[in-house]
Amino acid sequence: MEISVLQQIVRERYFKTDNERGVYHTALWFHEEVGELSSAIASGDKQNAKEEFADVLMWLLTLANLMEVDMQEVVADYLVNSRKLPSK
Ligand SMILES: [Mg+2]
């Protein structure tokens, strides 16, 4: 699935609610999900970690929608530019 397709699905399902909540409070939800992912990883519960990976991705796309960021575009730019950087 293309990132842009997934971002559009997230926009259609959640944008109204997310927009009413606002970007700051939505960012807090995103951080909570990152914390839940970290906890799942630390606990060794792989099934829970899988669910939390999905939560984090959905909330990231929600934030991108609120900030009017095209994730397909920024990821493509990142991949092009990261070739110029020394590998980690
Ligand atoms: Mg979660």
3-state helix/strand/coil string of 22-37: CHHHHHHHHHHHHHHH
CA of 41 to the centre of ligand 1 (A): 12
Question: Within a domain: residue 65?
Answer: yes
| Total structural domains within the chain | 1
- Write down the residue that tokens 């990883």 correspond to: 41
pTM above 0.75, yes or no: yes
Q: What is the pLDDT of residue 85?
A: 66
Note down the domain range covering 63: 3-82
- The CA distances from residue 82 to 56, 74, 87, in Å, are 23, 12, 8
CA of 50 to the centre of ligand 1 (A): 10
What's the token pair of residue 19?
């927009």
Question: Within a domain: residue 87?
Answer: no
**Mean pLDDT of all residues in the chain?**
95
Q: What is the pLDDT of residue 82?
A: 85
**CATH code of the domain covering residue 50:** 1.10.287.1080
Chain-centroid distance of CA 52 in Å reads 11
Instruction: Kindly state the average pLDDT of the residues 72-79.
Output: 95
Question: Within a domain: residue 88?
Answer: no
Residue range 19-62, pLDDT digits in tens:
999 999 999 999 999 999 999 999 999 999 999 999 999 999 99
11, 64 in Cβ contact below 8 A? no
CA of 51 to the centre of ligand 1 (A): 7
